[in-house]
Amino acid sequence: MTSTFTIGGDLEVNRLGYGAMQLPGPGVWGESRDPEGALAVLRRAVELGVTLIDTADAYGPFIADQLIKEALHPYAANLVIATKVGFTRQGPGQWTAVGRPEYLRQQTELSLRHLGLEQIDLMQLHRIDHKIPLSDQIGELALLRQEGKLRHIGLSEVTVDEIEAACEFAPISSVQNRYNLTLRTSEQVLDHCTANTIAFIPYSPLAKGTLLTDNARVARTAQEHGATRSQIALAWLLKRSPVTLPIPGTASIPHLEDNLKAENITLTDAQFTALTA
């Protein structure tokens, strides 16, 4: 299993990253319940070798970004900050896609400011706004890339057809869809990314814990490896394709450390097949 992947041909990252969605308050809204703990988790992630941190302007909004900056700025040369734009927030657990070009530009400028960056390594369209032509949405991100404010462009929650349509307006370096051992509606998308060497960033890689309590095969494989169920679920994602970059998120250092040990687990082909079935 290759432990690194190169996003867009020039951003090498360790394949097991960290997602910052759990750092703001309940419903991904407002201040963190434990700001000092959040800062400690971010710093520990980097100490343990994480080189890909995923965030979004909508996380808080901007709470996760501000925590990342406070914890890690100035950033290590090998640290890639991936963020997202295109979702508005009206309250806890409320999300509305907005893809107007002027809004995408405004939020990109704010992301640069809150993260303390001159260029965002990877900007992903958080959701396609179907009220706005896709050419306008990807076109604005392409303009920002030409201006040097973005390095690479990605998508989130898309189909293969939408990826191909977006590629008409700009190179697409990543796709972030919900995907895990028990929810695999994005199989065709992952296969497309694998064939085209596009980074596939599966969010909710642990299915919010449900696969850990309900899946007997995960429990049995964990026992065989002397591992936790979380580690087995992440190891399965790493073996599923060389382009998968799981980003398990947590506000707990023990959970973080547990998750990152998954990189040391190599599933046998028989174990992988049994889990997949």
Tell me if 275 is assigned to some domain: no
**Under a CB-based contact definition with an 8 Å cutoff, are residues 193 and 175 in contact?**
yes
Query: In the block, which residue shows the tokens 């901007």?
Result: 62
Query: In the block, which residue shows the tokens 């097949």?
Result: 273
Amino acid in the structure at residue 12: E
- pTM comes to 0.96
CATH number at residue 40: 3.20.20.100
Active site residue 59: yes
Tell me if 221 is assigned to some domain: no
* Residue 191, C-beta contacts closer than 8 angstroms, at least 6 positions apart: 241
Tell me if 139 is assigned to some domain: yes
Tell me if 271 is assigned to some domain: no
The three-state secondary structure class of 184 is coil
What is the domain range of residue 154? 4-207+240-265
Low-confidence stretches of the chain (pLDDT beneath 50): 1
* Catalytic residue (one of 18, 59, 179, 203): 59
pLDDT digits (tens, 9 = 90+) for 216-267: 888 899 999 999 999 999 999 999 999 999 999 999 999 999 999 999 999 9
Q: What's the pLDDT at 1?
A: 43
Sign of dihedral through CA atoms 84, 85, 86, 90? positive
Maximum alpha-carbon separation in the chain: 53
Measured CA to CA, the distance from residue 77 to residue 12 in angstroms comes to 11
Tell me if 235 is assigned to some domain: no
Measured CA to CA, the distance from residue 231 to residue 221 in angstroms comes to 10
Of 121, 107, 5, the residue nearest 60 (C-alpha): 107
| Helix pair angle (229-240, 269-276), 10° resolution | 100
Tell me if 16 is assigned to some domain: yes
Tell me if 56 is assigned to some domain: yes
Q: What's the pLDDT at 216?
A: 84
pLDDT digits (tens, 9 = 90+) for 185-207: 999 999 999 999 999 999 999 98
Measured CA to CA, the distance from residue 180 to residue 65 in angstroms comes to 25
Measured CA to CA, the distance from residue 197 to residue 202 in angstroms comes to 15
Length in residues, the chain: 277
Q: What's the pLDDT at 2?
A: 54
Residue-wise burial string across 22-54, b where 16 or more C-beta atoms lie within 10 A, e elsewhere: bbbeeebbeebeeeeebbbbbebbbebebbbbb
What the block records as the tokens of 97 is: 């896609």
Number of structural domains found in the chain: 1
Tell me if 66 is assigned to some domain: yes
Of 14, 12, 80, the residue nearest 49 (C-alpha): 14
**Under a CB-based contact definition with an 8 Å cutoff, are residues 87 and 96 in contact?**
yes
Q: What's the pLDDT at 217?
A: 87
Report how far Cα 12 is from the mean position of its chain's Cα atoms.
15
* Residue 41, C-beta contacts closer than 8 angstroms, at least 6 positions apart: 23, 250, 251, 252, 253, 256
